[in-house]
Structure 1
């Protein structure tokens, strides 16, 4: 509403506003034209009652005339229609009561029309409650007067003023005109409002349809992105598997010092590329909202040792003192949580600390700050003496693809996704990261995490299950089938398995693998998932349907370079026992083979084609 109009304004255009609804603008118009019409009508009536020497009617009519002029000016200067409406109704009610109780001392047709006009004006302008109040303020006194007159109990010491027919005709005509004007004005406003609502509804329907279409497109785009990432992951991981695998094989083959140095550089570069691919895939998985936290039992000191074991060696190579300190109260406790995500968080923080620390030390701590027997709260802290971070950039380092500065990116490399992944993983669990840092001095990243505690105590494993060893004779007796269509990967697998005294059979696709299982005997299958003719999922399902229980229950390990979010579920649903991601770590694959071959009961976990994958 325009509140900058001058006092001299008399135009209705300057008090209307596009910010108001159709009904509110209609109310302003009604006040504007209604007050103008009332001014002329009251002027005629005032002249008539003065001419007839009706003192009380002259006073009330004059009061209403002055009020209409003042309210009209107030409206054109400060268009506060609610306040003005209340003032009009108050003045009209007072004038009406004075007229019927004092001036004419009776209820006539004009009185009834005035009450009807007050009722309509109150309901239309101010709503149900105000309209009801003003209606009762006029109706109740009128009924009271009629009852008093009926019982002959209403007598004043002076005679009422007699109004002639001319005044009555003018008043009746004016009231009917105002009543008709109020009805017609708001009827048009209501019709316009209904049309506007219909148009808005139609637009809303169109917008809803467009929004639904946009959601469908976004879903298809998300699915396409996931498929693209899966395909690109497969295409990148497959050659990386060969590069890293061959590098490992060549390094174990006693190369010359200069050859070893070249191989280490090759392996390191391939590892960096794999780390970048993994960061992008992990971040996409988190952002897609498809990440599900597990709730399994684990021992925190043992987990921290596993996380930091390899990192200690990396720090030692750089000449950095690495210290791991885990609270001794946690040694014999079994906690419930997601060790995979804890590993991801701590590993990223430690890797960053090593990356950005040239000399000095790194301290990793896990401190029990609250022990309530059935629940513990642990503070994780990673502190370094590295390059540090400026205070103003502390929030930026947690944004994806952003590092402390461009020079940092050039000097240290990386995608800038590590801390973004850490932040998202903590936020999904309702946790926050605390960072203290000073340039040139170092940084400390810490957070608190609460864990339920298992009833049983942690007992370190004393047995070396499974009993198969790399140089044992039992490995050579393993009958293994490898379903793999990539010849480079086949060559790599043959070279790797030859070190374990295993000579595998090869199937170039899933269909061929099913045929070999039907006519041969094998102890374990390594199944690639993306193959021509028949993929690994379908091949596994066909094997599980075989009538021979020995063949249908044969352990199957999936070898996958895919980045699909539901890969674990798909592997289990197809009847496979476990999976290894390419590029795989030889020791990891060797351990899974040991578990499945040395422990035949694991293969019995398959129920209705759905195995329980080993942990």
Structure 2
């Protein structure tokens, strides 16, 4: 029992507990009331056997009476029904053996009743194992006695005592009462237990049905959330595409210094808004468990050069020194992993370091701390001399939508999702991150990750090559015939202005159905296909194009243009037969590189 019971307790209410099962409660009641009945039965016999000068019966009755009182008192203080059951069964077995072999030297009705009581009590209180043991302990001696008496006619040299009618009547009466009580009590308990099990089963069935409905609602809610985020992303990215695209176009027209400054502010603000949208979408993708990781070969030194290229410019704009150090081992070896997700992790940490540092320096140190030939442990250290993080806030900075303080959020902006995304990406890849910081002195983030080392060995290149936009002088852009399937008027205007910079005149289709018609009656080198359009979307249009009978038209390069944020957009694009895709808003050079990558082999 979990509750504390007083030594002077005599009430069964203090013994029973709601935590006990129905059967255990029945066992406790059986011992409690069974001891009281046994006490009354023995107490009623003692005066009679004493008056008849039945010495052994009197002595045994007195000892049994004292034993019952002691066990009853112990049980009301320490209600361990298993221990008490063993004590009572041992006492009962001793009583049966004494009565048969010493007191009466006979197997009479009282002995038979006592054995039946022991059998019932043993099975109901202690189960099959102990019930069988105590049954054999009592039945076997009776059989041995009967066989012995049948051959020897006398069991011991002690003169047996005779049973008088009163003692027989009282003993039989109380024994029958106990047998009826045990059987009736447990029969009721079993029925109640069966009823409770049925109610529990019915309740569990209802809970399962409710759980099923809850899971279904949760899945619908998750799907609705994903669709909502995708829709909102599309609706936000579409005008952002125009804002960033027009900013890029104006920057390409050699604006005056004052105009250039305004355009930089415009492009910077639009870029910040795009970053916020991307953070929310990335976090939602991670939380929904729909993120996947690549395992491809890459060189970490080259990857870090690309990651830090734009970050160095941001640092210099703030007057910060930027230092990048990469271990020599990493310059001459390829690693196998997901460079895209690694870039996202390191980019977030470096961006934070620059954002929260107003003076001083940002240092990025990449080192191989353990080389096991085919595996390597890499440590990424990003240090800054920024505002620092308070010690009491250290444990919370990796929580979503959390920043060091409200003042920090207002001063530096951001969603507070950057570090949460970093932490979750690392957890999913088996990496770890640590942070040390001091207010006003700066912070240091350390990321440790395991990578497989490729058997290919590379020779480090001391120069970082930049891929030119157009490296083939024989390739003429103005000869390209490009079909643009786009329903948004602003984006159409942006594409026309952008293509005019490359001396390309595109043909525009307002939906997928119109794009198919124009392709059937015209010749094009490439199609830029928006995914979400009225009448017919880009996915369906692409599938129809791929089934055309003309091989040249059926195999035309198709690049998807999408502002969608659905998790499976990449798979949908490629499974429909498209060759590549560009996410809106895009950079002009990025789009041009994609176009040239698809049409150059055909036109060379």
Match of 1:550 among 549, 552, 568: 552
Paired residue for 2:527? 525
The answer as to whether partners of 2:479 and 2:504 remain within 8 angstroms in 1 is yes
State TM-score, norm by structure 2. Answer: 0.96
Paired residue for 2:300? 300
- How far apart, CA to CA, are the structure 1 residues paired with 2:377 and 2:11? 71
Query: What SS class does the counterpart of residue 455 from structure 2 fall into?
Result: strand
Of the structure 1 ranges 535-544 and 327-336, higher mean CA displacement relative to structure 2 is found in: 327-336
Paired residue for 1:609? none
Paired residue for 2:36? 36
CA separation of 1:547/1:473 partners in 2, compared to 1, >3 Å: closer, same or farther? same
Of the structure 1 ranges 273-282 and 330-339, higher mean CA displacement relative to structure 2 is found in: 330-339
The answer as to whether partners of 2:283 and 2:421 remain within 8 angstroms in 1 is yes
Match of 2:511 among 492, 509, 512: 509
Paired residue for 1:494? 496
Of the structure 1 ranges 284-293 and 71-80, higher mean CA displacement relative to structure 2 is found in: 71-80
Paired residue for 1:565? 567
The answer as to whether partners of 1:2 and 1:14 remain within 8 angstroms in 2 is no
Paired residue for 1:272? 272
The answer as to whether partners of 1:322 and 1:362 remain within 8 angstroms in 2 is yes
Query: What SS class does the counterpart of residue 433 from structure 1 fall into?
Result: strand
What CA deviation, in whole Å up to 9, does each residue of 1:418-445 have, x standing for no partner? Answer: 0000000001112221111111111111
Paired residue for 2:596? 594
Of the structure 1 ranges 339-348 and 435-444, higher mean CA displacement relative to structure 2 is found in: 435-444
- How far apart, CA to CA, are the structure 2 residues paired with 1:396 and 1:410? 18
- How far apart, CA to CA, are the structure 2 residues paired with 1:509 and 1:368? 52
State TM-score, norm by structure 1. Answer: 0.94
Tell me by how many angstroms 1:582 deviates: 0.5
Unmatched segments (≥5 aa) in structure 1: 603-615
Unmatched segments (≥5 aa) in structure 2: none
The answer as to whether partners of 1:468 and 1:475 remain within 8 angstroms in 2 is no
Query: What SS class does the counterpart of residue 53 from structure 1 fall into?
Result: coil
Of the structure 1 ranges 427-436 and 207-216, higher mean CA displacement relative to structure 2 is found in: 427-436
Tell me by how many angstroms 1:174 deviates: 1.9
Tell me by how many angstroms 1:42 deviates: 0.9
Tell me by how many angstroms 1:258 deviates: 1.4
Paired residue for 1:380? 380
The 5 Å alignment of 1:138-537 reads: 138-152=138-152, 155-458=155-458, 468-469=470-471, 474-537=476-539
Tell me by how many angstroms 1:244 deviates: 0.6
What CA deviation, in whole Å up to 9, does each residue of 1:209-252 have, x standing for no partner? Answer: 00100000000000000000000000000000000111111122
Query: What SS class does the counterpart of residue 394 from structure 1 fall into?
Result: helix
Of the structure 1 ranges 36-45 and 479-488, higher mean CA displacement relative to structure 2 is found in: 36-45
Paired residue for 1:12? 12
CA separation of 1:459/1:237 partners in 2, compared to 1, >3 Å: closer, same or farther? farther
Tell me by how many angstroms 1:532 deviates: 0.7
Of the structure 1 ranges 400-409 and 77-86, higher mean CA displacement relative to structure 2 is found in: 77-86
CA separation of 1:197/1:222 partners in 2, compared to 1, >3 Å: closer, same or farther? same
The answer as to whether partners of 2:105 and 2:155 remain within 8 angstroms in 1 is no
CA separation of 1:141/1:418 partners in 2, compared to 1, >3 Å: closer, same or farther? same
- How far apart, CA to CA, are the structure 2 residues paired with 1:5 and 1:527? 80
Of the structure 1 ranges 355-364 and 339-348, higher mean CA displacement relative to structure 2 is found in: 355-364
- How far apart, CA to CA, are the structure 2 residues paired with 1:233 and 1:381? 33
The answer as to whether partners of 2:475 and 2:603 remain within 8 angstroms in 1 is no
What CA deviation, in whole Å up to 9, does each residue of 1:396-455 have, x standing for no partner? Answer: 010000001111111111000000000000011122211111111111111221112223
- How far apart, CA to CA, are the structure 2 residues paired with 1:549 and 1:291? 36
- Count of residues in Structure 1 that have an aligned counterpart in Structure 2: 602
The answer as to whether partners of 1:325 and 1:366 remain within 8 angstroms in 2 is yes
- How far apart, CA to CA, are the structure 1 residues paired with 2:475 and 2:211? 65
Of the structure 1 ranges 19-28 and 43-52, higher mean CA displacement relative to structure 2 is found in: 43-52
- How far apart, CA to CA, are the structure 2 residues paired with 1:485 and 1:545? 24
What CA deviation, in whole Å up to 9, does each residue of 1:78-132 have, x standing for no partner? Answer: 4332222222222212222222121112222221221110111111112222222
- How far apart, CA to CA, are the structure 2 residues paired with 1:4 and 1:168? 42
What CA deviation, in whole Å up to 9, does each residue of 1:561-588 have, x standing for no partner? Answer: 0010000000011110111110012221
What CA deviation, in whole Å up to 9, does each residue of 1:134-173 have, x standing for no partner? Answer: 2222223323333333442964232111222332232222
- How far apart, CA to CA, are the structure 2 residues paired with 1:348 and 1:568? 23
Alignment of 1:574 with 2:576, yes or no, is yes
- How far apart, CA to CA, are the structure 2 residues paired with 1:299 and 1:130? 71
CA separation of 1:566/1:2 partners in 2, compared to 1, >3 Å: closer, same or farther? closer
Tell me by how many angstroms 1:499 deviates: 1.6
- How far apart, CA to CA, are the structure 2 residues paired with 1:153 and 1:405? 99
Of the structure 1 ranges 137-146 and 386-395, higher mean CA displacement relative to structure 2 is found in: 137-146
Paired residue for 2:59? 59
Query: What SS class does the counterpart of residue 367 from structure 1 fall into?
Result: strand
